[in-house]
Every structure is written in structure tokens, then in C-alpha cells.
Amino acid sequence: MRNKLIHIVISAILVVSSSLVHANPQPTAAAPETPVPAAPTAATMPIPKAPSSGAKSFIIMDFDSGRVIAEENTDQSYDPASITKLMTAYVIFNELESGNISLSDMVTISEKAWRTPGSRMFVEVGKLVSVEDLLQGMIVQSGNDATVALAEYVAGSEETFAALMNRHAEDLGLTGSHFLNSTGLPETGHQMTAHDIAILAASVIRRFPDYYKWYSQKEFTFNSITQHNRNKLLWRDDSVDGIKTGFTDSAGYCLVTSAKKEGMRLITVVLGNASANARVDASQALLNYGFRFYETHKLYDAGTALASSRIWKGSTENVSLGLSKPLFVTIPRGRYEALQASMKVDNRIMAPVDQGAALGSVQVKLDDEVVAELPLVSLEPVAEGSFLHRMTDSALLYFE
């Protein structure tokens, strides 16, 4: 019996040693062994400052990694004007996805919707209009009448719909935003931040790709009236496929834009520009800057085993560890070979373990900067082992 116990202990030590090797993998790209040259290379030269936007607030954010490349006053809340309709669309897309409404539903246009001032789809009071047409009227034409009609159809009143908007904003972590109406018409206390807008835009693109296509639509005709999308970048830059303009006297000219080049998607927001042309020029300059000086890489897929660790008192001796979502990094161009990846695994993992339980972390560094970090999670559930197995592991743990 004593020899058998010693054999078990030795086996356990080998398993623990193996798990430690897996917990500290070789970096994704090893650092060069030769000394750093005295003169800077193109890859190591400092990146210039982002171009001036002329806006009260701006942001450049990578869609996949969430990294903010450049920003100014991004946590300051401002009047968002019609960019508000991004949240209106998010709520309605969610209702469609949940099956609470459908695109073919017919909506009766109320007098309030018909009388709403500002940009219009030109719906008529008392007429029936489909949800699909109203969505295109809101997204492409920025129709306030269509927007109010949709809000009333979903929630009964615009005030109740605004409460829904705030609930979704809280779920998305939009801490600098508060909604009082569905259109973005000026109202004291109705506000958003550039950072919140970028997060919201990314959520619309990620969650609702089938509906996002409308944001690249250049025109829409309703009631024999054709109106063009106000996002002029759709004509200027083929990589741009959305997303929304806004303007009021109090907000100035605003634009949230998304563009994709060679697998990299950027989102920019400018708030409070002086003119329609200024917001377009600023957005184009920010996109050009982001694509020119930065690149995004996917390092690990979700659900792929990256490590294996000893699990005590479980139905199996090892648990596979990986990520619950892909890990992306956005870095200065030419620095991919300098990335260093490391993994940390919790000591003494005990069964039972649920699938998705955080049991460590993956960290990626560029020089001394942490550019990405995600939890390392269990890829499968592990139940408690038999009574004999638990007792054996208890004995082994005694010698740890």
C-alpha cells in the first residue's frame, strides 16, 4: 500500500509539473535576441499625434479589440442630436430579435409622430406603415416622424420607450448617457459621451449584422419622395459602411462612422463640429490615421484549449482551459514580432468546476504595456469524483 501511495504521489507531481509548463507557454512572437539598434526603425519610431478634429469631443476605437487609439473629452456628456437614433435602433433590433415585433408589422401613424419637427420621412397621420419601412426612414432619412412612430409602437408612448433606452444603456455600461426621447431633439438632460457612442455603435454592428446593412444604404424612397443618406463618407470612401449623422443648433454637427480595411474595423465619433463638411473631413482624417499607424491581430480563438491544469477531487484529473471570446490586440504597425504572451493558472483547482469558470488569465504585453488581458476559463464542466478519488486526492494534497 505504501509503495502504491508513493507511486500516486510521483504521478501527481508529474501532472502538476506538466500543467505548469502549459500555464507558461512560449510567447506568441519571441523578442529578438540581438541588441536594439541605436537608430530607431520605422516600427519603433514614435507615432504622431492624431489629427485635429475641430470637434468638442472625438474618439477612434478598434471594433474587435475595443482599444481606444486616440480620444479627446470622450467622457464629457454632450447633446447627441440624431445619433440618439442609434439607441432607438438598438432597442427596436432587440425587439425584432426577441420576436416581440416583426418587420412586416403595420404601424398606425399617430398625430404626435406626424407633427414631430425636424427631419422627416413624410408619413401621414392615420396611415399604416410597415416596421421595415419606418426603420429605413429612421436610419437612412433620419426621419423623426418615423422614429416616434416606432417608439410608440414598441412601448405605447415615447416616454416609456425612453425608459427602455435607459435600461439598455445601463446593460451596455453606457455610464455617461441618459435618454429622454427617441429622436435626439434637444431636451435638458438628454446626453451621451463619445465613448458611449462608440461602444453602442460596436454593439449594433456586432449583435445585428442583418440590420446594420441599412446604415450603408445611400437613399430611400417613401411616398414617392427620395431622400439621401446624410453620411457623405458613404460616397467618398468605399471602406465606410455606416453609421449615423446628427445635427441641432445646440449639438452642432456630429458623426459616428465605421469603416473596414483588410479585416480591421475602426469606429470614429466626432461631436460638435462647426459644419457638415467639417464633420466629414474630421472623420475621414481620423480613419486614415487609425488605419495608417495601427493594426489589429486575433491571437487566440474562443473555445480553443490553450492550457491544461490539474484539477483535484474531480471526475477527471485535468481540465482544459481557454477563452470565452476571441482575443484581439491593436498595436502600432510593425510591432507584432515584439508581442509577449503569458498565462497564469490558479493553484489547487478543486472540483466541481462549471464550464466557463475563470481559473486564470491570459496577458499580452508590448514592451512594458499590457495591451490585452482576458480570463482563462474552463472549457468543460468537471464534476466531483468518486469518494475513493476524493480521499486519494486529499492524501496527495497533504504532501503538497
Whether residue 252 sits in one domain with residue 368: no
Q: Which domain range does residue 339 map to?
A: 2-25+306-398
The pLDDT assigned to 389 comes to 64
Alpha carbon distances (Å) from 180 to 84, 135, 175, 194: 10, 20, 15, 18
Pick the catalytic residue from 56, 85, 232, 313: 85
Q: Which CATH number fits the domain that encloses residue 17?
A: 2.60.410.10
Q: Are residues 312 and 291 in the same domain?
A: no
Domain boundary among 237, 271, 296: 296
Residue type at 17?
S
Catalytic-role residue among 53, 110, 142, 309: 142
pTM: 0.86
Q: Please list the pLDDT of the chain residue by residue as tens digits (400 residues).
A: 323 332 322 233 323 333 333 333 333 333 334 344 444 555 667 899 999 999 999 999 999 999 999 999 999 999 999 999 999 999 999 999 999 999 999 999 999 999 999 999 999 999 999 999 999 999 999 999 999 999 999 999 999 999 999 999 999 999 999 999 999 999 999 999 999 999 999 999 999 999 999 999 999 999 999 999 999 999 999 999 999 999 999 999 999 999 999 999 999 999 999 999 999 999 999 999 999 999 999 999 999 999 999 887 878 889 999 999 999 999 999 999 999 999 999 988 888 989 999 999 999 999 999 999 999 999 999 888 778 766 775 777 677 7
Which residue stretches of 24-157 are H helix?
85-98, 111-115, 131-139, 144-155
Buried b or exposed e, range 126-158, using 16+ CB within 10 angstroms: eeebebebbbbbbbbbbbbbbbbbbbbbbbeeb
Dihedral sign of CA atoms 170, 174, 180, 184 in order: negative
Position 241 scores a pLDDT of 96
pLDDT of residue 112: 97
Respond yes or no on whether the N-terminal peptide bond of residue 40 is cis (omega within 30° of 0).
Answer: no
Residue 103 phi/psi, 5-degree rounding, is: -65, -25
Give pLDDT, residue 32: 38
User: What is the pLDDT, as a whole number, of residue 41?
Assistant: 57
**What local confidence, expressed as pLDDT, does residue 67 receive?**
97
Question: Which pLDDT score is estimated for 9?
Answer: 29
Residues 139 and 262 in one domain: yes
Q: Look at the chain and report how many structural domains it folds into.
A: 2
Contacts of 149 (CB under 8 A, 6+ apart): 107, 109, 110, 113, 123, 129, 134
Task: Measure the CA–CA gap between 167 and 177, rounded to whole angstroms.
Answer: 11
- Catalytic choice (19, 53, 57, 82): 82
What per-residue confidence (pLDDT) applies to 351?
A: 82
Q: Is residue 57 part of a domain?
A: no
| 324 CB-near residues (< 8 Å, 6+ apart) | 302, 303, 356, 374, 375, 377
- Distance CA(60)–CA(58), nearest Å, equals 7
Nine cell digits for residue 83: 445619433
Are residues 311 and 252 both part of a single domain? Answer: no
Residues 113 and 160 in one domain: yes
Q: Which three cell numbers stand for residue 289?
A: 490615421
Same domain, 273 and 330: no
DSSP state of 374: E
Q: Does residue 142 have an active-site annotation? A: yes
Which of 252, 273, 296 is where one domain is finished? 296
Residue 82 designated active-site: yes
d(CA 208, CA 202): 10
Q: Among 251, 266, 296, which residue terminates a domain?
A: 296
Instruction: Looking at the structure, tell me whether residues 168 and 283 fall in a common domain.
Output: yes
Are 123 and 8 members of one domain?
A: no
* Res 44: pLDDT: 65
Is 85 one of the catalytic residues?
A: yes
Task: Answer whether residue 42 is part of any domain.
Answer: no
